[in-house]
Chains A and B, each alone.
Chain A
């Protein structure tokens, strides 16, 4: 410090000389980050101009001129957004056709899910107890949704809809697709069983080559033909199966990448310890391989979460479809922007928390590498 200070003191005037104001503080920051050079300055000015042109009107539309609690007719007079399309139809958008006075049940089911998810965030809580809690929680959620026992009146699955349906398709889809994907990847990497390998390769390439919508069509139109007469499987379950089969193929390719990233030495070391195939995979290969593919796995899972919205096309009443059916009501026609922005916010918060959690997990797991 003393030496540095002496450098800043002008010996003649004995006064401290500060760096020019354009180099430090806010001014310095602006100069360094926005106006370093002619091109960047022009770019900054153009961007600021565009923001100045677009943000205030948007703000006025969304907040100042907006209507939060009015009828559709009153909304049309307002200058801004009509958020009443959400507030007036909030429960329909969230729960679909679930009987109105029973909607506390899906609400509790979702709360259980959120509490479990929140509690599982911390890796220190990952114990056997938590696993049991998840199993119990999922069972409780299913009971609450279906009813039929403990004096709960039963609600058929055709009436499920809205956010609970989206979450159901996602949670079960992701948890079932992941192990299936790992199995497929192991099958594809198998060296001793060419027939199994061929089947896995065919499956993975076929599924990855077609759009999800074709699988959903298959689930909704063709699948009933596959079953013997008299046996029907409900539509939600069929769509769920299509989502699982689709996501599993993508997970398989990612896990394969992880498996290929393992050095031969790992296999040889496991073998020299006398571990058989199952133990080699469970104790040596998979823990490492799955760890290195966490980032792409999470982006696939996020993709699967977003893809659940496609069930709208086969007319399952997920979050997007309930919003659309509100919009097809003549009273609320023409307020699509508000409704879609609301749904987008819900999806965004789900996906964003998943991706930021994956970044955190990645950081934690890479410690000590």
Chain B
């Protein structure tokens, strides 16, 4: 984009370029005009807003965060009561958002991959069903789907007294799904530690295997070793504690269930809606990723004598994942952002709590700003991770 004589600035007899014909100066002028306009607009809106806030005597600033919230929140992962501050209420909301996002992402990746693979199946019936599923789910607004699942919950399911009881330890009613959970026991805490330790050990083992393979060419059955370590360690701990089996089963007392673990209808409707919708997009991402690896790669890998599992883990997956991961992350982010629709069905996520806060305090600017900042933090940290990942897996070209 360098200037060259053909379209360069006309130079007059004195050798200087007329101001408006010099591209560099013109660019500066344009930018100055744009910045001025943006600045003026900002100033105009700002002054109007301040005048309006003063006139309507709305408080400004984030002082309200310390005041008592005086509203209850249906489900809170940390202890919370109406006497707590707005700040704590918003924290509960943020944790609820994280909860639905984390659970939703795990289930979506699993289910979406299943549908994506099903779509590529040689089985005509399965592949057509998967295609139909993808088409239908992608073309219906997610908000409508949320309403639909929520309606199914409170219209079709019976009251707790007549709760459906499909399996031992599970009750379905319009108050949610009530599950039997293991009775608290110190073993479970140690199982969690064992699980984390197993992950760490697997990671170290994976590094060692990679180095050894590069040095000696000998491979290691990581595919079997990894699950064995990750799941074997907690199981061993559980057995070491005498294999506690006592369950905390839900019991119907009066009009509601006591004991067990309750998943609220709002949570389940939100989860179901987000997962079924996003899984359709994830399925397409996975299909595109698998199809991007040409058949020749499989054939070449088999020709040099790799076993089928090695073909998958050493040749196909690394290439497919390179195509899959970036759009997959953006789908995960979409799921997180769509979880803000929880406000429509009454699940107390961040937006929902912030909305209540806005209604009570009238401080809409601060409330909406908080919503935006929280989601920006999610998005920016995800894209930072993506940049790091892309650099790591990018093809090293010679």
A interface residues (Cβ-Cβ under 8 A, vs B): 33-34, 36, 40, 43-44, 47-48, 191-196, 199, 205-206, 208-214, 217-218, 221-222, 224-229, 267, 271-272, 274, 276, 302, 306-307, 309-310, 312-313, 320, 324, 334, 336-337, 340-341, 343-344, 347-348, 351-352, 355
Contacts and interface: CB of A to CB of B under 8 A. Distances in A.
Interface of B: 1, 4, 6-7, 23-24, 27, 30-31, 34-35, 38, 45, 48-49, 51-53, 55, 121-126, 129, 135-136, 138-145, 147-148, 151-152, 155-156, 337-338, 340-341, 343-344, 351, 355, 358, 364-365, 367-368, 371-372, 375-376, 378-380
Contact of A336 (B24, B155, B372, B376): B155
Given A191-B1, A199-B34, A309-B144, A210 B372 contact: yes
B144 A344 contact: yes
Given A225-B52, A228-B48, A276-B7, A213 B147 contact: no
Contacts of A192: 1, 23-24, 27
A352 B143 CA distance: 18
Nearest to B336: A211
Contacts of A334: 155
Contact of B144 (A196, A224, A347): A347
B125 A48 contact: yes
Given A192-B1, A213-B351, A272-B6, A336 B147 contact: yes
A46 to B, nearest CB: 9
A127 B123 CA distance: 46
A34 B125 contact: yes
A337 B149 CA distance: 9
Contacts of A302: 138-139
29 contacts: A33-B122, A40-B121, A43-B126, A48-B125, A192-B27, A195-B31, A209-B372, A209-B375, A209-B380, A211-B337, A211-B338, A214-B340, A214-B371, A217-B371, A222-B368, A225-B364, A225-B365, A272-B6, A306-B142, A309-B143, A310-B143, A312-B143, A324-B147, A336-B147, A336-B151, A340-B147, A347-B141, A348-B139, A351-B140
Nearest to B378: A209
A302 B139 CA distance: 8
Contacts of A272: 6
Contacts of B51: 228-229
Given A44-B123, A213-B343, A217-B368, A225 B53 contact: yes
Given A195-B34, A213-B343, A344-B140, A274 B351 contact: no
A195 B27 CA distance: 10
Contacts of B38: 199
Contacts of A226: 45, 48-49
B283 to A, nearest CB: 14
Contacts of A336: 147-148, 151-152, 155
Given A229-B51, A306-B141, A348-B139, A221 B375 contact: no
A214 B351 contact: yes
A199 B35 CA distance: 9
A196 B31 contact: yes
Contacts of A267: 1
Contacts of B35: 195, 199
A221 B55 CA distance: 16
Contacts of B379: 208-210
Task: Tell me whether chain B's interface is mostly helix, strand or loop, or mixed.
Answer: helix
A217 B351 CA distance: 10
Contacts of B7: 271, 274, 276
Contact of B126 (A47, A210, A343): A47
Contact of B48 (A34, A218, A225, A313): A225
A214 B152 contact: no
Contacts of A213: 340-341, 343, 351
A226 B46 CA distance: 7
A210 B376 contact: yes
Nearest to A355: B139
Nearest to A273: B6
Contacts of B344: 312-313
B30 A313 contact: no
A312 B156 CA distance: 24
A173 to B, nearest CB: 14
Contacts of A309: 141, 143-144
A263 B165 CA distance: 63
A47 B31 CA distance: 62
A47 B118 CA distance: 12
Contact of B31 (A193, A209, A224, A228): A193
Given A33-B123, A192-B27, A352-B139, 15 more contacts: A47-B126, A48-B125, A193-B30, A196-B34, A208-B379, A209-B379, A209-B380, A225-B49, A225-B53, A334-B155, A337-B155, A343-B144, A347-B141, A351-B138, A355-B139
A98 to B, nearest CB: 22
A33 B358 contact: no
A251 to B, nearest CB: 15
A2 to B, nearest CB: 35
A70 to B, nearest CB: 19
B148 A344 contact: yes
A221 B31 contact: no
Contacts of B148: 336-337, 340-341, 344
B379 to A, nearest CB: 4
A195 B38 CA distance: 11
B93 to A, nearest CB: 13
Contacts of A224: 52
A293 B94 CA distance: 36
Given A228-B48, A229-B52, A43 B375 contact: no
